Amino acid sequence: MSATAEARFAEATQLQLTWWRFRRHKLAVASLFVIALFYLIAIFADFLAATDPHATDARRSFIPPQGIHFFDDSGFNPHVYGLRGVRDPRTFQLTYAPDPARKLPVRLFVRGFTYDLFGLIETDIHLFGVVGGRPGESAFLLGTDQLGRDLFSRLMVATRISLVIGLAGVTLSLFLGVLLGGISGLYGGWVDTLIQRLIELLRSVPTIPLWMGLAAALPRTWSVLQVYFAITLIISLIGWTELARVVRGRFLALREEDFVIAAELSGASQGRIIFRHMLPSFASHIIAATSLALPAMIISETSLSFLGLGLRPPAISWGILLQDAQNIQVLANAPWLLMPAIPVTLIILAFNFFGDGLRDAADPYG
Partner 1 sequence: MRRREMGVLAFTGLAGAATAQTAGGFRDSGLVGRLEGPNIITDPARRPTQFKEAPMLAEQVRAGRLPPVEQRLPQDVMVVEPLRSVGKYGGTWRRGFIGPSDGENGNRIMSADKPLFFDPSGTELRPQLAKGFEVSADGKRTTLHLRRGLKWSDGTPHTADDWMFWFNDLYTNRDLVPAPAPELSSNGKPGRMVKVDEATIAFEFDEPYYLFPMLLAGDTLVGGGQTRLQSNGQTYALYAPAHYLSRYLPKNTPVETLTAQARAAGFNNWVQHFKFLSDWQLNKDVPTLCAWRMVQPINTQLWVLERNPYFYAVDTEGQQLPYIDRVQMTLAENPEVVNLRAVAGEYDYQERFMDLGKLPVFIENQQRSHYKVHLDPGFNGADSVLFPTLTYTEDAEIGDLLRKVEFRRALALGIDRDQLNEAFWLGLGTPGSTIPDESLPESPGGEWRQKWSTHDPAQANRLLDAIGLTRKDREGFRLRRDNGQRLRIEIAVGQTLSATWPQQAEMISQHWRDIGIATDVKVMERSLWYTRAYGDKHQIALWTNNGTESLYLYPRYVLPVDPIGGVISNVYAAWFASNGERGSEPPDPEMRRAFALMRAATGQQKAERDATAKEVWKIAVDQQWGIGLVGLSPAFMGVRVVNERLENVPGRTGISQHCRTPWGGHPEQWYFKT
Q: Is 327 an interacting residue with respect to partner 1 (CB under 8 A)?
A: yes
Judged by CB under 8 A, does residue 223 bind partner 1? yes
301 in Cβ contact with 317 (< 8 Å): yes
Contact between 134 and partner 1 per CB under 8 A: no
Name the segment binding partner 1 (CB under 8 A); options: 183-191, 216-224, 240-248, 336-344.
216-224
* Residue 71 bridge partners (DSSP): 76
Q: Which of 8, 26, 59, 111 binds partner 1 (CB under 8 A)?
A: 59
Which member of 326, 335, 342, 363 binds partner 1 (CB under 8 A)?
Answer: 326
Does residue 154 interact with partner 1 by CB under 8 A? no
226 near partner 1, rule: CB under 8 A: no
Query: What does the alpha-carbon distance between residue 240 and residue 320 come to, in Å, rounded to a whole number?
Result: 25
Give which of 324, 319, 341 is closest to 235, Cα–Cα. Answer: 319
Q: d(Cα 222, Cα 224) in Å, to the nearest integer?
A: 7
Instruction: Out of 112, 129, 148, 182, point to the residue binding partner 1 (CB under 8 A).
Output: 148
Q: Under the criterion CB under 8 A, does residue 89 sit at the interface with partner 1?
A: yes
- Strands (DSSP E) found in 118-185: 121-130
Q: Does 218 bind partner 1 (CB under 8 A)?
A: no
Amino acid identity of residue 278, one-letter, is M
- Min dist CB 146 to partner 1, Å, is 6
Cα(358)–Cα(114) distance, rounded to whole angstroms?
40
Contacts of 213 by beta carbon, 8 Å cutoff, 6+ apart: none
Q: Which of 34, 39, 43, 61 touches partner 1 (CB under 8 A)?
A: 61
Interface with partner 1: number of residues (CB under 8 A): 31
Which of 313, 335, 345, 363 is close enough to bind partner 1 by CB under 8 A?
A: 313
CB of 231 to partner 1, least distance (A): 16
Edge-first strand order for the sheet with 121-130 is 69-72, 75-87, 94-117, 121-130
Neighbours of 342 (CB within 10 A): 11
In whole angstroms, the minimum distance from the beta carbon of 118 to partner 1 comes to: 16
H or E stretch at 100: strand 94-117
Taking CB under 8 A as the criterion, which residues in 251-310 touch partner 1?
Answer: 308
Strand partners, 69: 79
CA distance 325 to 87: 22
The residue among 224 and 283 lying less far from partner 1, judged by its C-beta, is 224
Site residues, partner 1 (CB under 8 A): 54-59, 61, 87, 89-94, 146-148, 220-221, 223-224, 308, 312-314, 326-329, 332-333
